[in-house]
Chains A and B, each alone.
Chain A
Amino acid sequence: MTDNREMSYGPARALPGDQIAITTNPDTEPFWEKAKAHKLTACQCADCGHFRMPPSPYCPECQSTAKQWPDLPGTGTVFSFAICTRNPKNGEEYVYVPVVIALDGTDGAHLVSNLGGCDADDVEIGMKVTVDWNPIKDDWVLPVFKPI
């Protein structure tokens, strides 16, 4: 029997974009429109400046509906992550690393994404990362991350 504490995962990859679909609504679409232009943004209250993700109709701090979508630096810090080994669409072996990123340029807003560009075994909480772009279905683009 293999001891699962000795496992080595090897390279982490973003999930195949041709298997990924998203939907949008008027509250969330500006995030995805900017991603199409390879710009990372997050939903910010235009009154009090608080960031919220996913985008939602009201600011939970001041109940304003005014939103703005600033260009963020596109960098962040790994807040937490998992290592998964099966493609969720077809069950095939596929090492990927879902991550929660604390986004630079915000007051701690989190974005849930994938991390690639390194071995899964080398991912650590606190690691600095930068955005990369993964084309997905229907001409949308998904922000993913890689180590700096």
Chain B
Amino acid sequence: MAWAHQDKTAIVGIGATEYYMRGKSWPRTINDMAGEAILKACADAGISIKDVDGFAYYSTAGAGYLDKFDTASLMETLGIPHVGFSATLTSGGGGASGAAGLATAGLMNEDCKYCITVMALQQLPQHRLGVVFGAAAPSPENSFLQPSGLVGPGHLMSVLARRHMHLYGTKREAFKEIVQATREHALNRPKAIRRKPLDDEEYWSQPMLADPLCRLDFCLETDGAVAIVTTTTDRAKDCRHPPALIHGVAHGGTRNWGRAFAWMGMQDPDFASSGHKFVAERLWEQTGLTAKDMDCAEIYDHFSCMVLMQLEDYGFCEKGEGSDYVLSGAIRYANRNKVEGAVPVNTHGGNLNEAYIIGLTHVTEAVEQVRGTAINQVEDCEFALSTGGPASLPVSGMILRRA
């Protein structure tokens, strides 16, 4: 059955700062960057900052790994007169695409009229994610993980990737193709951090940071901020750009995935997966669509291997066939009309090549694709998928539709 709020809300504004290599955004502060992204998103939408009256965060309102957004502080500095909605999805980056669904909840409940979702990231030396994981005295729960030396997210993902290789015969060539394909998409993007062609020799010469993953299988460590404005489709008519209609959006997951790689208790087939199957099935049920109906897919890519497992969980290919699927060339923008079943993946270069702002760049790229203003524009793009996570639940996904 179609979702009751289908196409009733839309993303109407997107804004972002420059992207900086880790730590290079200093002496800007995190609220300085967040403010720039919010003001740019409002300008893009054609609304005043004074029209903003809602905040829908994700990552437990985290700004990066140690900072927190606070609605009152943002109101104070930006001059927002009042808010009727201030809420967050829990856990971490898994909520990146689902936050627009939280905004929809606020809009449909008439708590707010223009709702901001924002993420900012500033990795000063003490704020690096790997350091954050490893430096904390382990909690009683984490005392069953941290002593193993699995201290960074890349360590954790590598254990899942290894199981996938064991069960399905996946080879590192598949991870290489994901990195190279999305690198190709970043070559013509002025803001992308990595925009030099990547040949086989360079990939195979990278240090192994957590075997089976090498350095280029890990996403960038960058600073910057991204914001979006969500409103009702009725109000969107007065905005500057055609609205990116929220056609389906879901967050959550199953206990079998749970805390995932912070736990490692999953059994097959969940262990070597992205934990997205539950959200994927909800999206397809909400919309009556399938993976093959997507004109592009902006897939959260903190690690190359997790793109492959999401492609399986969303049904771009069968479970266990992700390697063959990507090696067919199906995820390359250049192959979109050449390879059977091809759907361009991460047309913006993704977290691996453009910038890592905890997943919100995937949402802004999906918006540009359905507006028709993307740099690597897919012709007649009607439906764009974006995802958040794999991570501890919730993970999330969203389908945007051209107006």
Contact = CB atoms under 8 A, between A and B. Distances in A.
Interface in A70-119: 79-85, 88-89, 96, 98-100, 108-114
Interface residues on A, range: 35 or more
B160 A3 contact: no
Interface string A9-51: 1000001000011111101100000000000000000000000
Contact of A21 (B137, B149, B214, B271): B137
Contacts of A108: 267
Interface in B114-148: 134, 137-141, 143-145, 147-148
B159 A81 contact: yes
Contacts of A98: 148-150, 155, 159
Contacts of B139: 23
Given A23-B139, A54-B141, A60-B255, A136 B147 contact: yes
Nearest to B134: A88
Contacts of A25: 140
Contacts of A28: 140-141, 143-144
B81 interface: no
B8 interface: no
B148 A113 contact: yes
A109 B210 CA distance: 24
A142 interface: yes
B265 interface: yes
Interface stretch (B89-97, B100-108, B198-206, B286-294): B198-206
Indicate the member of A1, A84, A114 with the most B CB atoms within 10 Å: A84
A82 B210 CA distance: 6
Given A22-B143, A24-B140, A88-B151, A82 B265 contact: no
Contact of A142 (B137, B147, B263, B267): B147
Contacts of B138: 21-23
Max chain A C-beta neighbours (<10 A), residue from B148, B205, B207, B271: B148
Interface in A115-134: 125-126
Nearest to A82: B158
Contacts of A136: 147
A7 interface: yes
Nearest to A31: B144
Contact of B214 (A4, A9, A96, A125): A4
B24 interface: no
Given A4-B208, A82-B155, A83-B211, 20 more contacts: A1-B201, A1-B202, A1-B204, A4-B214, A9-B211, A23-B137, A52-B265, A53-B144, A54-B144, A79-B163, A82-B150, A82-B159, A84-B209, A88-B151, A98-B155, A99-B148, A108-B267, A109-B265, A110-B264, A136-B147
Interface of A: 1-5, 7, 9, 15, 20-25, 27-28, 52-54, 60, 79-85, 88-89, 96, 98-100, 108-114, 125-126, 136, 142
Interface of B: 134, 137-141, 143-145, 147-152, 155, 158-160, 162-163, 166, 172, 201-202, 204-212, 214, 255, 263-265, 267, 271
